[in-house]
Amino acid sequence: MIAKPPGHPDDDALVPSRRSFLRGLAAVGALPLTPALLAAEPASAASDGFPLVAGGVAADVFVDAGDDVAVRRVAGDLQADIERVSGVLPILTNRTAGLSRAAVLIGTIGHSPVIDKLVASGRLDVSEVAGRWEASVTQVVEAPIAGVDRALVVAGSDRRGTVYGVYDLSERIGVSPWYWWADVPVPHRDTVTLPPVTEKRREPAIRYRGIFLNDEDNLSQWAYRTAEPGKHIGPVTYTRIFELMLRLKANYLWPAMHPESDHFNKYPDNARLAHEYGVVVGSSHPEALLRNNVHEWQPWAEAHRNPDGSLPEYDYTVNPQTILDYWRARAKANARYESVWTVGMRGIHDSGLVTKNAKTTAERVAVMNDIITQQRRILAEEVGPAAGAVPQIFIPYKEVLDLYNAGVRVPDDVTLIWPDDNHGNMRQLPTAAERQRSGGNGLYYHLSYWGAPKSYLWLDTTAPAKIWQELRRAYDNGVRHTWIVNVGDLKSQETGLSFAMALAWDIDRWRAEDGQPRLADWAGRQFGAAYAREIAEIRQGYYELAAALRPEFIQSGVFSLVHHGDEADRRMAAYRSLIDRAEAVGRLLPAAYQDAFFELLLYPLTGAYLMNLKFVCADRNALAVKQGRGAGVNVFADLAERAQADEEALTRRYNTAIAGGKWKEIINPYPANVPKAPRVPAVTRLTRTSAVGLGVAAEGNETGVARPLTFSSYPRNRRFIDVFNTGFAPLTWQASPSHSWVQVSTTAGTTPDQARIWVSVDWAAAPSGVSSPQVRITGAGTTVTVPLQVVNDGEQGRATATGFVEAHGYVSIEAEHYDRIVPRSGATWQTIPGLGRSGAAVIGAPFDAARLDGDSRTVAPELQYNVRFATAGTFPVTVYRLPSLDERGTRRLAIGLDSGTPILLKGTGVTSATAAWSRNVVEGVEKLTTNVTVDRPGEHVLKLWMVDPANAVDQIVIDTGGLPASYLAPPESFHPAFNPNPGR
């Protein structure tokens, strides 16, 4: 339970966590994400601040009538935002005469005479802004024009620079970019005063930053039925999307392109409005030259039949001229708008290139080269003749990457867009020569995906640390021109999209360890600083669980029900704990915040839990049948089906009740036209009888008690015994330990179905060495004896341990818990909190470091782990590597023990739809196994070396005998510093 803090989101007393952020700054209920996002402050906090709203009067807002339409339009958004905050609507004017004494002046350098005069007079500092791409400055200027005493000036280097400066101002006063798309409330302020500081927004790190609306069935249905009836994503929806993009500092859109959506150019207003907002429109990898083939090719083919009356195929080796004319028509129609033109070719929909008359790879390469040449001729003739003046991209996606690597010639001024593997791992990065291209390099990254081996379209489950890892790796390797992020239906990707665009704007502000603070910043902006850290921790816990298995990937039999303290139940308990914490926060939030809180936290968290729960309960139902349970079989069947029903009710609430029904049909784990999340599997039910009988299953055994319950004085773990009824009539049972120092959570009970007993050891009373006590379970005329094995090394054993200690037949290590680090060759290991399955991972850095061939002991950065082995022998060691890729290189690291020769481990570097890659991306790790030889019991040093850079390691497990199979790594072993009380 969280006590209600004094600073509620609707209080003026909220204080930002970073008090030194700006001198004299007080928050308005939202934490900043970038330096430009200052919080407004009460007038009393700074007597020399600029009074945007004071005494019921708002400063007038001026924008020149001759400025760009995007700038004139965004001035209207600022007017509306000021009213949202204060309830006072400022005057918006393009005349300087009669302006209020305190006024806001908005303009673009070179397009606003008022701004240009201030620059010429030296009164507006535009150094590092003028002449740059999308840069801007916000500055308070005294007596800027006649009749105005003070002005808050927002000036941009170009039209989008000005737009971003204005939206920064909106966020400073408390308007979240997600005020509409996630219903984030705008805290009310009677007085809004801004500190008189000059704030410059310099050129963004990435030139084109944008989103791809893809697999958008839910978004399309919502638009058609709710947002703009009759249109499957039309101008009304797109204007909302354009505004959100610009508030997030995105500038580039690949529009929706699937059969269920209306194609972008179906409505001429779409392209016109994109231009008026300042959004650059492009198209995805199968949509050359802005053509939506799904909707546009068939009508074109019908109108341009072959001489014999047949329909032309979308195959350049069969109908080149028809296809070239098709592309030319679109280039001509959209030439007047700011666009990025995709060159190359794939199939009609998201399918492979069809070349009936080019069979070999060499022939297909020649076809692609000709396609690109002809497309560029069209662009030169219809859009602009200067090479490089018309932005163009080439996307080597799936089979096109193979053709590119086989010799496709992409002109130097065309930007290469490097795709990930659809699961958040960059496939290939540019070589040194490719980094020198004038067109630069970009990336196409997925936060949502439809395809093999499994689809994930429902929830935002890619952790910010994962996004940082891959995008930073790409950036460090020269991918700095264009970033496009697949956001699916958009609505469920609020957090991931925000992080990706923040990185694209200013990546150097993010360090490896900044994921959690940035998540707290973002949460604070939506819900208030008082709740930021708690919400961030809950959200991070949610991402950690998804890193082990996305909820859409769940299936029967994944998590163990009998090993490691019930692996499945530990996962469910983690979800339940997060939900309890989230609900506690929700009870403290004012009513105005409840819809946003549900959309951004409660729904994804609870939905993911229920998706997992129904499968875990169905698995228990199947195990109960195998164990011969009676009433318990039906109990678990009921729970599984109840979880499905609860999940459906949760989604129904989202679609019907949240925000007054605004989001009807926007969220659906089971959409009609794209892959669905899994529904509850079939369960078994038994006919009720009057029988009663005792059954017992001890931890580590699917049935019976043959495998002893093991206990060690290092982790001081507990184990469970399931007592169950083989019938339906009430079962009375007793549990009797053989020794007083063996403790059970309950000694007797009556149950119609089942009960779980937890067994533990009183270590102060237990004898030293190895003991074999028992727990006897009696009931219904039957006795079952459960064997235990207890190893007690005493307090001295724990006190003398210097590192991880073997117990239960294994050593389990979380990779960030190293005892020593040894940098070498200009490289090192770096810890990234929030990355991987276990809360943090280590990664070889810098990400553009050289590959370190040779003897790792002398050239490679090293991590050392102290390990105490109880036994000697040759043991399997498994490194849990995060599945990053390198299609043209390798993903290697090395491991060894003591002074032994490093053993090279080679991870999967390519996709190629291999079974290994498919398994890795579903499980979130690649398990690399070799053997190490322990020559004697006692203290040793396990060593991990980086060979290839940007290789991340999550966990390391050594099986010293009898480690049971399970989906997750076993719980981390005892370590006196990192894990002194493993407990359960």
Does the pLDDT at position 211 exceed 70?
yes
Q: Is the domain of 564 the same as that of 450?
A: no
Does the pLDDT at position 65 exceed 50?
yes
Q: Which residue, 983, 962, 965, is CA-closest to 974?
A: 983
Does the pLDDT at position 187 exceed 80?
yes
Q: Is the domain of 499 the same as that of 557?
A: no
Q: Is the domain of 784 the same as that of 831?
A: no
Cβ–Cβ under 8 Å, residues 298 and 348: no
Q: What domain range includes position 166? A: 48-199
Could you tell me the sign of the dihedral formed by the alpha carbons of 833, 839, 843, 847, in that order? negative
Burial class, 473, CB count within 10 angstroms (exposed 0-12 / middle 13-18 / buried 19+): buried
Q: What is the pLDDT of residues 756-792, one digit of tens each?
A: 999 999 999 999 999 999 999 999 999 999 999 999 9
Does the pLDDT at position 31 exceed 60?
no
> Is 612 contained in some domain?
yes
> Is 668 contained in some domain?
no
Q: Is the domain of 862 the same as that of 748?
A: no
Does the pLDDT at position 35 exceed 80?
no
The domain that holds 632 is classified in CATH as: 1.20.58.2150
Does the pLDDT at position 806 exceed 80?
yes
Cβ–Cβ under 8 Å, residues 961 and 710: no
Parallel, antiparallel or unpaired: strands 482-488 and 709-712: unpaired
Q: Is the domain of 175 the same as that of 267?
A: no
Q: Give the per-residue pLDDT at 912.
A: 67
The domain that holds 767 is classified in CATH as: 2.60.40.3170
Does the pLDDT at position 7 exceed 60?
no
Q: Which residue, 199, 194, 178, is CA-closest to 135?
A: 199
Q: Which long-range contacts (CB under 8 A, 24 or more apart) does 356-359 make?
A: 356/313, 356/315, 356/317, 356/318, 357/315, 357/317, 357/318, 358/317
- First vs last C-alpha separation in the chain: 23
Q: Is the domain of 568 the same as that of 480?
A: no
The domain that holds 928 is classified in CATH as: 2.60.120.1620
Q: How many domains does the chain have?
A: 5
Q: Which residue, 3, 10, 2, is CA-closest to 529?
A: 10
> Is 627 contained in some domain?
yes
Does the pLDDT at position 33 exceed 90?
no
Q: Is the domain of 757 the same as that of 827?
A: no
> Is 935 contained in some domain?
yes
Residue after which a domain boundary falls, among 659, 682, 715: 659
Burial class, 609, CB count within 10 angstroms (exposed 0-12 / middle 13-18 / buried 19+): buried
Mean pLDDT value across the chain: 94
The domain that holds 177 is classified in CATH as: 3.30.379.10
Q: What is the pLDDT of residues 262-317, one digit of tens each?
A: 999 999 999 999 999 999 999 999 999 999 999 999 999 999 999 999 999 999 99
Q: Is the domain of 166 the same as that of 258?
A: no
Q: What does 119-135 look like in DSSP terms, one character per residue? A: HHTT-S--TTTTTSSS-
Calculate ∠ Cα 354-358-364, nearest 5°. Answer: 80
Helix (H) or strand (E) holding 897: strand 891-897
CA distance 395 to 418: 6
> Is 361 contained in some domain?
yes
Q: Give the per-residue pLDDT at 42.
A: 40
Q: What is the pLDDT of residues 874-910, one digit of tens each?
A: 999 999 999 999 988 899 999 999 999 999 999 998 8
Q: Is the domain of 326 the same as that of 473?
A: yes
Q: At what angle do helices 235-247 and 159-172 cross, to 10 degrees?
A: 80
The domain that holds 403 is classified in CATH as: 3.20.20.520
Q: Is the domain of 87 the same as that of 174?
A: yes
Does the pLDDT at position 1 exceed 70?
no
> Is 84 contained in some domain?
yes
Q: pLDDT tier at 12 (50, 70, 90 boundaries)? A: very low
Does the pLDDT at position 335 exceed 80?
yes
Tokens of 820: 């020593």
CA distance 868 to 975: 10
Does the pLDDT at position 25 exceed 80?
no
Q: Give the per-residue pLDDT at 3.
A: 34
Cβ–Cβ under 8 Å, residues 312 and 291: no
Does the pLDDT at position 505 exceed 50?
yes
Q: pLDDT tier at 911 (50, 70, 90 boundaries)? A: confident
Q: What is the pLDDT of residues 463-481, one digit of tens each?
A: 999 999 999 999 999 999 9
Residue after which a domain boundary falls, among 199, 231, 262: 199
Q: Is the domain of 653 the same as that of 772?
A: no
Cβ–Cβ under 8 Å, residues 211 and 484: yes
Q: Give the per-residue pLDDT at 978.
A: 97
Q: What is the pLDDT of residues 234-271, one digit of tens each?
A: 999 999 999 999 999 999 999 999 999 999 999 999 99
Q: Give the per-residue pLDDT at 913.
A: 66
Strands (E) across 705-795 are located at 709-712, 719-725, 731-737, 742-744, 748-751, 754-761, 769-771, 774-779, 782-792
Q: Give the per-residue pLDDT at 47.
A: 56
What proportion of the chain, given as a percentage, has pLDDT over 90?
A: 92
Tokens of 782: 């039957």
Does the pLDDT at position 14 exceed 80?
no
Residue after which a domain boundary falls, among 181, 199, 217: 199
CA distance 595 to 578: 19
> Is 970 contained in some domain?
no
Q: Is the domain of 265 the same as that of 383?
A: yes
> Is 195 contained in some domain?
yes
Does the pLDDT at position 983 exceed 90?
no
Q: What is the pLDDT of residues 444-465, one digit of tens each?
A: 999 999 999 999 999 999 999 9
Q: Which residue, 260, 257, 253, is CA-closest to 238?
A: 253
Q: Give the per-residue pLDDT at 36.
A: 33
Q: What is the pLDDT of residues 529-552, one digit of tens each?
A: 999 999 999 999 999 999 999 999
Q: Give the per-residue pLDDT at 89.
A: 98
> Is omega for the bond preceding 453 within 30 degrees of 0, making it cis?
yes
Lowest mean pLDDT among 135-144, 295-304, 379-388, 554-563: 379-388
